Amino acid sequence: MRTNERKIKIKKEKIAREKRNKKRKYLDLKDFGQSSKAFRLYVNEKRIFFKAHWRSMSFRIFFYLVGVYIFGLSVSLYMDLNLGVVNEDLIVFALIADIWTKGGDNVEEYYAIMLVVVYLGFWLFVVLFKIIKLIQFHRKKQLTLTLIYDEIFKMVLDLVPVFLWPAAVQLNVLIINPAETIKPLDPSNITGSQAQWNEWIRSWILWASYLLFCLGLAIIVSTKMLEGPYNGLSGELALITKIPYAACRVIVDMALLVVGLGLLFLGQYPISERLSHLYSWVSYATILMAFFAGPLIGLIVVILERYIKLELIDVNHKLYRKLRREVIREFRQDNPDKKTKLKWTILQDSILDKYNLMIKETFIEEFDDAELIDKIIK
């Protein structure tokens, strides 16, 4: 008898607490209690989410690694062409030439190490941009605990590509040129038909590396996992400045080009060697990668995200049919005209939204005070 009364009392207290929480428009961290409790709620929410999406997450990780490998392959291919370098590579090459090789050409030996250093610098800027973004959310009264923990989680995970991407480049360099016996395809000492053949080969390798570069980054971006510090610069800058992403991409590329040129001309080695590097490192490959890679990457991402819905493998067949019927019924209610067709992509996105809403409701039902981590912080 006492056990039943106790259960009824606990249930009433839970209902009363939920009513109080719903009345709260803002979250006062002092009233909420210890921050560790909020963090446990966040961890439990992510645990439930990953448990419901483990299949698609496994595929995402696999495709992410494939994209990183393709990216590393593209960089290792164009590195020795002497047709120009792109974006952060100009900074990397300039620093290597100044610090280690003293103007020499064997930059591949130190490329991976210096790329890690440059990526760490980019990561610090991304962290700064994320902090500015959180401050903006707080001023607009849109900041929640979930948003704070999400950004902290991303800051930590963003360190993975800082080391993984240079490792992928180094792996491909070792595969393509393990003993560093293949010299740059430089036609300066070649004449006649042999020079024309050499130039033709270099051009085709460049186009292959350009396509692989765009494909690799597009796969990485479409997985929505760890876009890397370089891509993060453009994305975070777009969020805090409200400038379109494409424009931010160009701004970042131009800024990196200017910094790279500055480091090149400040190098502590003979001016003749610096001018030689300028000719080799700033060429039409630089223009191709800086101005035409972004649009192609965007196009590939749109195609991948439109026709490949990895999250659908998390929804079992029975539940999928149920959610599909609900989406179609709601669409017909909002659009009584039978001529109006429900697009396939909108249908799939709506089904996924409903599925994620079910996961969120499961979390709210399972844990007390679960709704509080999504309330606006005072």
Cα separation, 175 vs 126, in Å, equals 32
Query: Is the pLDDT assigned to residue 188 strictly greater than 50?
Result: no
CB atoms near residue 291 (< 10 Å): 13
Report the range of poorest mean pLDDT among 56-70, 105-119, 223-237.
105-119
What residues does each domain of the chain span? 43-307, 317-377
Q: Alpha carbon 21 to chain centroid distance?
A: 35
Does the pLDDT value for residue 191 go beyond 70? no
Q: For the residues 115-143, what does the mean pLDDT come to?
A: 89
CB contact at 8 A, 119 and 166: yes
Q: Which of the four pLDDT bands, split at 50, 70 and 90, describes residue 285?
A: confident
Does residue 249 register a pLDDT over 90? no
Q: Would you place residue 65 in the very low, low, confident or very high pLDDT band (cuts 50, 70, 90)?
A: very high
- The whole-angstrom separation of Cα 255 and Cα 3 is 69
Q: Percentage of the chain surpassing pLDDT 70?
A: 73
Round to whole Å and give the CA distance between 106 and 30: 58
Amino acid, single-letter form, for residue 293: A
Tell me the Cα Rg of the chain. Answer: 26
Q: Determine contact, residues 339/4, Cβ cutoff 8 Å.
A: no
Whole-number percent of the chain with pLDDT over 90 = 12
> Does residue 141 sit in helix, strand or coil?
coil
Give CA angle at 360 (356, 364), nearest 5°: 170
| Cβ neighbourhood burial of 273 (10 Å; 0-12, 13-18, 19+) | middle
Phi then psi for residue 197, to 5 deg, are -65, -40
Q: Answer yes or no: is pLDDT of 215 > 90.
A: yes
pLDDT (0 to 100) of residue 101? 54
Report pLDDT for 227: 83
User: Higher confidence at residue 252 or residue 188?
Assistant: 252
Q: For 286-303, how does the pLDDT look when each residue is reduced to its tens digit (9 = 90+)?
A: 778 777 887 888 888 888
Query: Residue 26: enclosing H or E segment and its boundaries?
Result: strand 26-27
* Each residue's pLDDT tens digit, 18-61: 555 445 555 655 555 555 677 778 888 888 888 888 888 899 99
pLDDT at 97: 73
Q: How many Cα atoms within 13 Å fall on the side-chain side of residue 166?
A: 22
| Structure-token pair, residue 94 | 């300039």
In tens, the pLDDT along 79-125 reads: 777 676 777 778 887 887 776 655 455 566 677 888 899 999 999 99
pLDDT at 122: 92
Please give the average per-residue pLDDT across 248-267, as a whole number.
81
Distance between CA atoms of 255 and 262, rounded to whole angstroms?
11
Global pTM?
A: 0.78
In this prediction, residue 244 carries a pLDDT of 80
Q: Quick one: pLDDT at residue 115? A: 87
Average pLDDT, the chain: 76
CA distances from 300 to 9, 145, 213, 230, 294 (A): 57, 34, 12, 19, 10
Angle (deg, nearest 10), helices 145-157 and 159-176: 30
Q: What is the mean pLDDT of residues 310-324?
A: 78
